[in-house]
Copies of this chain bind each other. A is one copy, B any other.
Amino acid sequence: MGAELSEDMTPELAELLTGNCYCLAVRRASRRMVRLYDAALAERGLTISQLAMLAWVKGLRTPTVQKIADYMEMDQSAASRGIRPLEREGLITSAPHPKDKRKSVLALTDEGATRLAEGAAAWAHAQRQVEAEMSPAGGLATLMTEINALAQTAEAED
């Protein structure tokens, strides 16, 4: 693990490379988690993002692209594009909002509801797998609270 770091690295760069960068650490963990969950969902033809979007479409009273982006804390454009494959595959439909023509109200198709249910089962399997392999110091619940806190770190400001 120690790796073959050259001697003329500043302490700062050594820190960055040895797992002490919050950003790189979380991103590395993210890549791993996504691979694990996506693999679990692959048989159902879904990614974890797509499963989440289907779930929000079902869970929100009047789901729109913007709302989904807000709840998932991602850019509206990313949500917009993420939804396209789901429409293409006929899992969700899009209809103009009756009152506000700017909005499109999304809805699950029957096929979408089926895939969502199947995906949720596969998702639960992945969840259990992570729980079985992880034994964090303060407990998984605490870890989740802290990761979520990381997700709320202020955007910049200075």
Contact = CB atoms under 8 A, between A and B. Distances in A.
Interface stretch (A26-34, A82-90, A93-101): A26-34
B127 A21 contact: yes
Given A33-B27, A138-B137, A155-B39, A17 B74 contact: no
Contact of A6 (B17, B32, B48, B58): B58
A99 B25 CA distance: 34
Interface string A38-75: 01100000001001100110111100000000011110
Interface of A: 3-6, 9-10, 12-14, 16-17, 19-37, 39-40, 48, 51-52, 55-56, 58-61, 71-74, 116-117, 120-121, 123-127, 129-130, 133-134, 136-138, 142-156, 158
